[in-house]
Amino acid sequence: VQLQASGGGLVQAGESLSLSCVVSGGFSLDYYVIGWFRQVPGKEREGVLSISSSGISTYSAEPVKSRFTITRDNAKNTVYLQMNDLKPEDAAVYYCAARKRYVSALHLSAASYEYWGQGTQVTVSS
């Protein structure tokens, strides 16, 4: 299973950015929960948003509620993270990750995710 995150870049505060996570490896995305996480140097990786295997349910961390949205297109094996009204504190390396849908764990628990992408840098200037 391979995950490839892309779409990061430099934006100004208040602007938007869309990240994509393409999953490959010959398996069906239908059986996996996908999460987006972020990390800044010196801090633990934190959960941002996750989406159920069906796409019906999403779970958001409080700091990004109402600003970030996660969607998925299983036919394209791709998950998206739409980030609006970005703030300087949103700057981080963003990672997408996958775990099997039957794993019983907190939705944004990084330790529960089995597969990780390489990360994409998001920089927000004030």
2/6 Cα distance (integer angstroms) = 13
Whole-number average pLDDT of the chain:
94
- Please spell the DSSP secondary structure of 69-112, one letter per residue: EEEEEGGGTEEEEEE-S--GGG-EEEEEEEEETT--S-TT-GGG
Residues 6+ apart with CB under 8 A from 62: none
Q: What digits encode the pLDDT tens for the residues 33-78?
A: 999 999 999 999 999 999 999 889 999 999 999 999 999 998 999 9
Instruction: Please give the single-letter amino acid code of residue 23.
Output: V
Average pLDDT, stretch 1-16? 96
- For the cut 90, the answer to whether the pLDDT of residue 92 exceeds it is yes
Q: How far is CA 37 from the centre of its chain?
A: 5
User: Of the given ranges (40-54, 78-92, 102-116), which has the lowest mean pLDDT?
Assistant: 102-116
